[in-house]
A = this chain, B = another copy of it.
Amino acid sequence: MKEIFVKDLQANQTVTTTFLVKFKEVRAKKSGELYLSLILGDKSGELEAKMWDNIQDLDSSICRDDFVKVKGMVQVFRNRPQLTIHKLRKCREDEIDIADYFPKTTKDVEVMFEELLNLVDAVQNSYLRELLMSILVDENLAAKFKQAPAAKALHHAWLGGLLEHTLSLCRLCRLVASHYSDLDVDLLVSGAVLHDVGKIDELCYRRSFTYTNEGQLLGHMILALDLVNEKISQIEGFPRQLKTVVQHLIISHHGEYEFGSPKLPMFPEALVLHCLDNLDSKLEAMNAILRNEATADGYWTAYNQMFGRPIFKGFKENGQAHSEEDRDIKEPSQS
């Protein structure tokens, strides 16, 4: 177990613990001497760190995505901790529990996975059920499915995020199918389980979250097709037309050409899948922004690039509902 986490660091504290290196650069002081500038992280956050002296003695092979053990002194400003490093060395693998270094779903992965299996088990169409099960019971795929984030950034960008997003979408699909009785709930749930499954190979999430070569060159929709093709080829008698319908659900789920969908949703279930995926991802992205700035002053978050606007935190100060007071407030913190 890691000794202490970023979010628990106190000003003027001397700490000895391990971190993941997120960024490393050697810079020159005015005197010409070199110093080390790092960004270190664990699952609870990041902090800047500087090592001013004796860096010539360091293992020069330390680089991004390595784990290091450091001893240093914490300072705090802008409400953020910063570390002056006195000692630094690379860690051995056996000193590390990887779960300490990445943001991770707050939910129980096994419980979520169990629920997903139950939802899949409820699929009536035997071909679709067999297809979905063949992926979820494949040990290698299941392991990745439980670990993968749903995105490099933006929404559900944490270990287990893909599973969390997939399960949420499955539930939404069932709720909405209960409202519109004409919808084929089997197709909806299948689309929900498969739509982002390619992300297990699109993203690399053993260190920092980045794209794999395949992910960058092909994207998760094409990777999902490869996976689905392979599994379907092992199912005796899987109807060709049903395969086409499943492929369409996958490639149309971004809903717009400019978001990388080569086809637009062409039947009701494809339309609904796109709308609900859009809802779940955008809502979670907005909530993530709000959580990140929950303690900052003001009624507004900073301008957000993805949304193209700041997000409003609401008038609910002090646990009060919107309507219980009527102060005339004129100075939002938004700039």
Contacts and interface: CB of A to CB of B under 8 A. Distances in A.
A93 interface: no
Interface in A291-325: 299-300, 307-315, 321-325
Nearest to A214: B244
A197 to B, nearest CB: 16
A327 B210 contact: no
A168 interface: yes
A90 interface: no
A28 B175 contact: no
B279 A275 contact: yes
Given A272-B279, A286-B271, A241 B210 contact: no
Q: A interface, by DSSP: helix, strand, loop or mixed?
A: mixed
A27 B218 CA distance: 44
Contacts of A176: 172, 175, 279
A85 B221 CA distance: 53
Interface of A: 12, 25-28, 30, 32, 34, 50, 52, 65, 73, 75-78, 82, 84, 125-128, 168, 171-172, 175-176, 178-180, 182, 184, 187, 204, 206-208, 210-214, 216-219, 221-222, 225-226, 229, 237-242, 244-245, 247-248, 251, 257-264, 266-268, 271-272, 275-276, 278-279, 282-283, 286-287, 290, 299-300, 307-315, 321-332, 334-335
Contacts of A332: 204, 210-213, 216
B239 A218 contact: no
B217 A314 contact: no
Nearest to A315: B241
Nearest to A26: B77
Contact of A248 (B50, B171, B207, B217): B217
Contacts of A241: 213, 315, 322-323, 325-327, 329
10 cross-chain pairs, A with B, having the tightest CB-CB distances, nearest first: A275-B279, A217-B248, A242-B323, A239-B326, A28-B77, A267-B312, A260-B262, A266-B312, A239-B323, A241-B315
Given A125-B321, A329-B213, A258 B258 contact: yes
A162 to B, nearest CB: 16
Contacts of A322: 125, 184, 187, 239, 241-242, 245
A66 to B, nearest CB: 12
A123 B31 CA distance: 58
With most chain B CB atoms within 10 A of its CB, the pick from A25, A176, A244 is A244
Contact of A263 (B28, B217, B325): B217
A299 B213 contact: yes
Contacts of A126: 323
Contact of A210 (B229, B271, B331): B331
